[in-house]
Structure 1
Amino acid sequence: MSEDLATRPSAAEPDAGRRAGLLLAVLLVAQFTVALDFSILNVALPDIGAGLGMSLSDLQWVVTVFALTSAGFTLLFGRVADLLGRRPMFLGGIVLLGASSLLGGLADDVTTVLVARVGQGLATAVLAPVAMALLTTSFPEGPQRQRAIGLGGAMLSAGFTVGAVLGGVLTGLLSWRWAFLINVPLCAVVLLAAPALIPRTQERERTRLDVGGTLTITTGLLALVYGVTSAGHAGWADPVTLLSLGAAALLLTAFWLIELRVEHPLVSPRVLGRATVKWGNAGGLLTFTMFSAVIFLLTLYLQEVLGYSPLVTGLAFGVQGVTAFFAGVFAPKLIARFGSSRATLIGGLVLQAAATGALVLAGDSRDSFALVVVATAVGGFAHVLSVVSFMVTATSGLSNREQGLATGMTSLTQQVGITIGIPIMSAVATARIDALSATEPRAAAVLGGTSTALAVDALVVLAGAVVIGLFLRRAARA
């Protein structure tokens, strides 16, 4: 009888498995909601402007203030969560996101909308690193964590894609206000379920916050994002753009010098110096920067060269959303099959480069529509494979108390990449379009500009994959 009792499964094991599954579901919904906010308002912007009497210059601030706050404070909040606890930070972020979304949905003036977007950006800066840190610390390193990160990548992709479609549907059928209000019930569901599932206990660091590092990294990132965003509207030679980028370079240099000398750094040079953290995030920055630019360039191509409506353009990216979701599901299996997230990261980047390069063949005939759908479907799969692989690579081999920093870095990589990709590649396309406009019709000039930018995009991704692969391989041998 004693043997039966010894071999009988404990009743606590199924309960623990069920609890872990429910926690994963809550964290995935939170990540989906965060990703939704990046894209859902883009389609609704014209209606917001018309409804509130906002000028074009005011409308760009609806996007800019969100990008500034979400990217500028991500690393700080990821570190604060290590010090104060991830559970209260996560719950506070959900409350802030729900409240800001409600405020935006009820807004009747420009100021209120911008305040709501600042709140959403701050909430994203909290939730993106903290949700990922909870995910990585709730599952042991290996197949379980890889599966959880894969599902997280799938939900991020689904959130971006659904946001673009849902923004148009809600705005067309109901009102632009629902592009804000849709977050409220999602936040309510997470807030009701999360307290019972997220453990109260956590190994916290008993150290002081690095004030000097905090001020320089936060202001430096704000200056960087503002400078790049400003370049997308005013050009790279604009004095404000140059001043912002110069200030960013000085502040980020000062930040690194502080971290090398301070006793308790905000970003440990030891952690950041790890090859997996450094080059994993380099791969993440590369895939996010270049793939966000591809979507922008193809939107320009489909509407201005082939003459499709915004609705058809959105539907063209629907297939890409499906393949990206499945990439998140299958990425852990591919990592296990190849035995290394390094291999799948490099493979994903090379495949992304190939899919982007194929788009250079698109011409001015609507026969090219099929090429766009197939290439973006392959590119979407490759992109999310790279995303999951970079997250696994950049968070592996670290203790639980360092996961907030590691996931803060991956979240920062994601948000900075999304922010800077479009202005950079837009400048390449615009320079070529302007050069061709003197002798070519508008559609032909746009085709030449987008083709040039796509070719540059593909070459940058391919070259980056080679460099990152070499350094990761050298580190693995060492």
Structure 2
Amino acid sequence: MTETEASTSLPTTSTSSHLERFTTAQTIAMAVLLTANFTLAVDFSILNVALPHIGDDLGFATSSLQWIVTSFALCAAGFTLFFGRVADLFGRRRLFLIGIVLLGVSSLAGGLASAPVLLLTARIGQGMATAMVTPAALSLMTTMFPEGPARSRALGLNGALMAAGFTAGAMLGGLLTGAVSWRWAFFINVVVAVAVFVVGPFVLREPARGPRPRLGVPGAVTITIALLALVLGIDAAGHRGWTHAGTWGPILAAVVLVVVFLLIESRVAEPLVAPGLLRRRSIGSGNAAGVLAFGTFTSLVFLLTLYLQQILGYSAISAGLALGVLGVGTVLGGLLAPKIIGRTSARTAIIAGLLVQAATTAPLAFAGDSRQWLLPLLVLTFVGGVANLVAIVGYVVVSTSGVPADQQGLATGLVTMSQQIGITLGTLVMSTIATGVVAATLLPGLQLAIGINAGIALGTAVLLAVVLRDVTPMPGDAHRAGE
């Protein structure tokens, strides 16, 4: 068995049942980490429904409303790799708690905001808090549990709640905006942040760190600016089109900066990203799978929202409830994923999950304008949601397995970054495809976009079956090799 295979093998079956159980202290720590990550996932979508109300209350121009979302996404994606490495060097627990304080303060400021600049500042603070807390929380999980069933279970729970958070955010945002005020979308975070900060210091632990290397400021600054430019360009595509200078200019700048970053990293004694980490097939392929898994899933939610409301004529509330079925499927998928990984492998979970996702998405490309399609849509999206989360948990396991403890923050930073880029890129690409078809109704464009969505999931599964064929062996193979 190769070194890479050994590093990603699951524990032997004789210890699996013991390692799968959480101790009381681990259960409490997981509750704290999951609560924080669920809240941050909700923040990605909770204000979408409320944007018109916020514009009316604070005096936002309609053309500026998108910055409420963009300012958050820029910081959440742009700084996640940087803070993932900071967590490794200066302490995951410390960074997690600092991020929670920033989340509470910025959320309070957002709830009290009386002008656009104050609200945007608060959203920047929330995005920075997300970039701190998410990789720190994920690396605390991966270092809390050894590779194997217990870690897979922890990552499955995390994936389930984060996916549920994206769905719950839209529903909760609409409910709060209609029943109370959009400001409560911010105030809820304050309550959560206080509770997490009070309990966290007593239950969160991390391994002792060895000698602390330098951060590598030039590389950190370069890759952060590159990611900011990439997200800005992707976001601009949704508002200006892919041929506008405001779109391809930042994306081109991002490509140049990544090249500069690689040159810097090759010449410094203590690089921000260890070359050995990037050379791992599991890291590159796993995170590529994450970008596409998140991109196809979140964009499908967007396409189906348009289909339910603009083609079938359902209200926003009815459409949200229908998509809640998909949310239930994602939660179930997150709970099933560790069992599937334990009986097969993380590689099998990714490939099988994407294949089932493609198979359940493809029929929706033929959906017509009759409401008789509602029941098939609910069944297909439920099964597809289960499959998508199985694939997502599998990619997180692959992307963090075999990584030394002192690089887990960086590895989970890459995982978080791939999630956020997938969320941002997927919706923009699919919306461009859906609206690019000139027809009497939106339906042909939606059908084409959904078909391409299914094709991407299928193509990713086939490609990963080849690329990852030697990376994650079956548990039984690892056990026999150990004998």
**Residue identity matched to 2:361:** T
Mapped partners of 1:476, 1:153: distance in 2: 20
State the identity %.
Answer: 50
SS at match of 2:314: coil
Q: Is contact 1:205-1:401 (8 Å) kept? A: no
Mapped partners of 1:17, 1:293: distance in 2: 38
Q: Is contact 2:143-2:207 (8 Å) kept? A: no
Q: Where does residue 398 of structure 1 map in the other structure?
A: 403
> Cα deviations across residues 386-430 of structure 1 (Å, max 9, x unaligned)?
111100110001121111111001000101110111111111112
Structure 2 CA distance for partners of 1:201 and 1:335, relative to 1, 3 Å: closer
> Cα deviations across residues 308-336 of structure 1 (Å, max 9, x unaligned)?
11111101111111111111111101111
Q: Where does residue 66 of structure 2 map in the other structure?
A: 60
Q: 1:462 aligns with which of 458, 464, 468?
A: 458
Structure 2 CA distance for partners of 1:293 and 1:201, relative to 1, 3 Å: closer
Q: Is contact 1:289-1:422 (8 Å) kept? A: yes
Q: Is contact 2:140-2:206 (8 Å) kept? A: no
SS at match of 1:265: coil
Mapped partners of 1:328, 1:249: distance in 2: 34
Mapped partners of 1:110, 1:277: distance in 2: 40
> Cα deviations across residues 138-168 of structure 1 (Å, max 9, x unaligned)?
1111111111111111110121122111111
Superposed, which structure 2 residues align to 1:78-477 within 5 Å? 78-199=84-205, 202-338=208-344, 340-432=345-437, 435-436=438-439, 440=440, 445-475=441-471
> Cα deviations across residues 153-202 of structure 1 (Å, max 9, x unaligned)?
11101211221111111111100100111111111111111001123763
SS at match of 1:301: helix
Please, which runs of 5 or more residues in structure 2 have no aligned partner? 1-18, 474-483
**Residue identity matched to 1:359:** L
TM-score by length of structure 2 reads 0.92
**Residue identity matched to 1:222:** L
Mapped partners of 1:278, 1:249: distance in 2: 17
Mapped partners of 1:179, 1:190: distance in 2: 18
Q: Which moved more, 1:110-119 or 1:460-469?
A: 460-469
**Residue identity matched to 1:404:** G
Mapped partners of 2:456, 2:204: distance in 1: 41
Mapped partners of 1:355, 1:212: distance in 2: 46
Pairwise CA distance, 1:258:
2.1
TM-score by length of structure 1 reads 0.93
**Residue identity matched to 1:378:** V
Pairwise CA distance, 1:474:
4.0
Q: Which moved more, 1:270-279 or 1:218-227?
A: 270-279
Pairwise CA distance, 1:293:
1.1
**Residue identity matched to 2:386:** F
SS at match of 2:266: helix
Q: Is contact 1:280-1:394 (8 Å) kept? A: yes
Mapped partners of 1:221, 1:254: distance in 2: 13
> Cα deviations across residues 224-254 of structure 1 (Å, max 9, x unaligned)?
0000100100111111112111111111121
Mapped partners of 1:41, 1:158: distance in 2: 16
> Cα deviations across residues 17-55 of structure 1 (Å, max 9, x unaligned)?
211111111111111111111111111111111111211
Mapped partners of 2:360, 2:261: distance in 1: 38
SS at match of 1:364: coil
Mapped partners of 1:256, 1:370: distance in 2: 50
**Residue identity matched to 2:377:** V
SS at match of 1:194: helix
Q: Is contact 2:353-2:388 (8 Å) kept? A: yes
**Residue identity matched to 1:446:** L
Mapped partners of 1:201, 1:380: distance in 2: 35
**Residue identity matched to 2:449:** A
Q: 2:34 aligns with which of 28, 35, 43?
A: 28
SS at match of 1:206: coil
Comparing both chains, which one has the higher relative contact order based on Cα–Cα distances under 8 Å and sequence gaps of 6 or more?
2
Pairwise CA distance, 1:301:
1.1
**Residue identity matched to 1:101:** S
Q: How many residues align?
A: 454
Q: Where does residue 8 of structure 1 map in the other structure?
A: none
**Residue identity matched to 2:375:** A
Q: Is contact 1:82-1:204 (8 Å) kept? A: no
Mapped partners of 1:20, 1:372: distance in 2: 39
Instruction: Tell me the C-alpha RMSD between the 2 structures.
Output: 1.5
Mapped partners of 2:71, 2:210: distance in 1: 32
Mapped partners of 1:143, 1:296: distance in 2: 34
**Residue identity matched to 1:409:** L
Q: Is contact 1:326-1:381 (8 Å) kept? A: yes
Q: Where does residue 476 of structure 2 map in the other structure?
A: none
Q: Is contact 1:319-1:377 (8 Å) kept? A: yes
Q: Is contact 2:143-2:206 (8 Å) kept? A: no
Structure 2 CA distance for partners of 1:358 and 1:430, relative to 1, 3 Å: same
Q: Is contact 1:149-1:388 (8 Å) kept? A: yes
Q: Is contact 2:399-2:415 (8 Å) kept? A: yes
Mapped partners of 2:372, 2:37: distance in 1: 37
**Residue identity matched to 1:315:** L
Mapped partners of 2:159, 2:171: distance in 1: 19
Q: Is contact 2:347-2:472 (8 Å) kept? A: no
Mapped partners of 1:21, 1:285: distance in 2: 29
Mapped partners of 1:230, 1:350: distance in 2: 32
Mapped partners of 1:200, 1:376: distance in 2: 38
Q: Is contact 1:70-1:121 (8 Å) kept? A: yes
